[in-house]
Amino acid sequence: MRIGLLTDTHLPSTIRHLWDEVKSAFAGVDLILHGGDIVTPRVLDWLEEIAPTLAARGNNDSGWGDPRVQDVQWLDLAGWRLAMIHDMEPEERPIEYLKKCYLKGEHADIVVTGHTHFERLDYRDGVLQINTGSPTHPHLWATRLGTVGLLDLAPGRITARVIKLGETPGLPNPGAEFFFDLETHLASVSR
């Protein structure tokens, strides 16, 4: 199963849709997970044209309801337990503390978050943490191409990556690319 990951789209009113680069990155995914700060439901509708989409409610997602959006999304996929919540900041606190404070003590093999606009891919204490940054406001900079993620799941196997969408002319993409393979514990980062 291949899952497209993104968060913090904060789609401004001047932009009707996400970048075409998001659609290209998510070609062939089975599911899309949005980590919150969607801002407008039309983002989810646009993503649904690619694949079924679920989201976590972000701190900028009030005033509208949508059955695809929950405060915390819990999913069992290919033998893995995944939790998605918008904000677990600061994400580097001990895993047990994060589970207790944000997940009511429940275990997740994979935790997908957002809020910071900074990409993170970390494997600690048996939990894979993924924050894909932002495809539209990377590192809290002005609107430009940023980062998204891909998560491949199979029984006993996880691979995850955070990828840069490119560069907006005249506006550099500050994001980093990450790769992780649970089977080999191979991890890499490139800037």
Q: What is the pLDDT of residue 11?
A: 83
Distance in angstroms (rounded) separating the CA atoms of residues 58 and 165: 22
Digit-coded pLDDT (tens) for 92-111: 999 999 999 999 999 999 99
Q: pLDDT grade, residue 188 (50/70/90)? A: low
Q: What is the pLDDT of residue 48?
A: 97
Distance in angstroms (rounded) separating the CA atoms of residues 167 and 33: 23
Q: Is the pLDDT of residue 182 over 90?
A: no
Share of the chain above pLDDT 70, in %: 97
Fold of 2-190: Purple Acid Phosphatase; chain A, domain 2 (3.60.21)
Tokens of 136: 């539209």
Question: What strands lie across the sheet with 110-113, from one edge to the other?
Answer: 72-77, 80-85, 110-113, 127-132, 119-124
Answer for the pair 73, 54: CB distance below 8 angstroms, yes or no: yes
Show the beta-strand stretches assigned E in the chain: 2-6, 31-34, 53-56, 69-70, 72-77, 80-85, 110-113, 119-124, 127-132, 147-154, 157-164, 177-181, 186-190
Residue ranges covered by each domain of the chain:
2-190
Q: What is the pLDDT of residue 187?
A: 67
Over residues 20-40, the mean pLDDT reads 96
DSSP string, 129-147: EEEE--SSSGGG-SS---E
Over residues 123-133, the mean pLDDT reads 96
Digit-coded pLDDT (tens) for 61-101: 987 889 999 999 999 999 999 999 999 999 999 999 999 99
Answer for the pair 83, 74: CB distance below 8 angstroms, yes or no: yes
Residues 6+ apart with CB under 8 A from 20: none
pTM score, whole prediction: 0.95
Average per-residue pLDDT for the chain: 93
Distance in angstroms (rounded) separating the CA atoms of residues 100 and 148: 27
Q: State CA 71 to chain mean position distance.
A: 15
Residue with tokens 């649970």: 182
Burial-class residue 59 by CB neighbours within 10 Å (0-12, 13-18, 19+): exposed
Answer for the pair 150, 4: CB distance below 8 angstroms, yes or no: yes
Tokens of 49: 């044209």
